[in-house]
Chain A
Amino acid sequence: DTEVTQTPKHLVMGMTNKKSLKCEQHMGHRAMYWYKQKAKKPPELMFVYSYEKLSINESVPSRFSPECPNSSLLNLHLHALQPEDSALYLCASSQDSVREGRNTEAFFGQGTRLTVV
């Protein structure tokens, strides 16, 4: 199984709503990532979890709250979002690069298309 599964595929939410994006992988990867991608732009890194610990937070506003309940799951909790937060949110995972002794590729999910109204 080389899949990263994201749910939901599409989400429309109001600016006062609370919602969560979910990501799951069963490849035994110990690093998981959230990226944000606006139209016609490359993905931008938001968060990195390594061994279930938050390792990177790229100055993301607090209305985005990541959570890693276990080594297979990654959530992104959303609250009080703005219309400019509308984007494709991508989850990715990768093997432990130090243990592998090389830079390892990331496997991406299909993304959640988020629209904030």
Chain B
Amino acid sequence: AQSVTQLDSHVSVSEGTPVLLRCNYSSSYSPSLFWYVQHPNKGLQLLLKYTSAATLVKGINGFEAEFKKSETSFHLTKPSAHMSDAAEYFCVVSDRISGYSTLTFGKGTMLLVSP
């Protein structure tokens, strides 16, 4: 069985400072991992994905994540936070079934950005 642990329920940063959102996964085989962002009362938007190609993955809005198999981690980073980054972030691991994929979500990390 797969699982995802997001280590922080809330992260607070100041605008212009780096962002680090932590995610650890458990999977019995080589996983596919995703980060999604959700702004209040909105759907989920894909930030980036890892599917066994390059271990450093670049996404939208300046975010990137590094897949570290030895640490079973997939942490999300951004060099400089912007006010518009304030949102809920979900780390997700995917299991491939014939014809579709099932997603296992972490509990989410709320990113708060102060001026």
Question: Which residues of A are in contact with B by a Cβ distance under 8 Å?
Answer: 4, 6, 30-31, 33, 40-43, 45, 48, 50-51, 55-56, 88, 90, 92, 94, 96-98, 102-111, 113
Contacts and interface: CB of A to CB of B under 8 A. Distances in A.
Contacts of A40: 108
Contacts of A30: 99-100
Contacts of B96: 97-98, 102-103
Contact of A108 (B44, B52, B102): B44
Contact of B103 (A6, A50, A51, A106): A106
Q: Which label, helix, strand, loop or mixed, suits the secondary structure of the B interface?
A: strand
Sort chain B's interface into a size bin: 20 to 34
Contacts of B67: none
Contact of A96 (B43, B99, B105): B99
Given A90-B44, A105-B46, A42 B99 contact: no
Contact of A97 (B43, B90, B97): B97
A42 B105 contact: yes
Contact of A111 (B43, B94, B103): B43
B27 to A, nearest CB: 11
A45 B99 contact: no
